[in-house]
Amino acid sequence: MRRTVIGIVGGKKSGKTTTLEILTRELTKRGYKIAVVKHVPEPNFTIDTVGKDTWRYAQSGAKTVVAASANEIATLEKAPGDRSLRDVLQRCRNVNIVFLEGFRKLMARDRSMPKIVVAKSEQDIEEAVENFQPILAFTGPYMPEKANLKAPYIDVLKSGEKIADLVEEVAEKKP
């Protein structure tokens, strides 16, 4: 299965989650299988709950703990150190499109991955143009006044299908 990876870049409270919800909803309706990877930079973050069975298994030495219920399966992998982007993407199997939210340093270095910039100020746009190429589109609460950006601004709240069209074009071009 071909897989396209697209980064979603923006500051806190800029609208990244809303943008991802709209993109995921629209592209899923079109038949795409979507994965969303959320980078959590807090060093002590865990999705596990202290004292619960899954936590206890990991505390006793299990490197992988799988919790299965009627509606979902969660795999917890315990491993110290930062994850590489490649390591994270290996967990996104059987999907057509992977959206990465966060991973600012990794995305700034990767000049092959298209990015959608969610901006809430002119400064956000300037930073993105300088650091996060190639830019597929801009969205977010800040609508730039100047029209000389190389990528379009799309109001995702009013035209979610248009930004999904751009993602679909990238996904269809992927060899």
Check which CATH number belongs to the domain holding 115 and give it. Answer: 3.40.50.300
Distance CA 23, CA 154 (A): 12
> How much is the pTM?
0.85
pLDDT 10s digits, 69-98: 898 888 888 777 767 788 888 888 899 999
pLDDT 10s digits, 3-32: 999 999 999 999 999 999 999 999 999 999
pLDDT 10s digits, 121-165: 989 999 999 999 999 999 999 987 765 688 999 999 999 999 999
> What string of DSSP letters covers 33-80?
-EEEEE----TT--SS-TTSHHHHHHHTT-SEEEEE-SS-EEEEE---
Domain assignment present for 67: no
* Number of domains composing the chain: 1
Asked if 92 and 35 count as a contact pair (C-beta separation under 8 A), the reply is: yes
Torsion, Cα 116 135 11 31, to 10 degrees, reads: 10
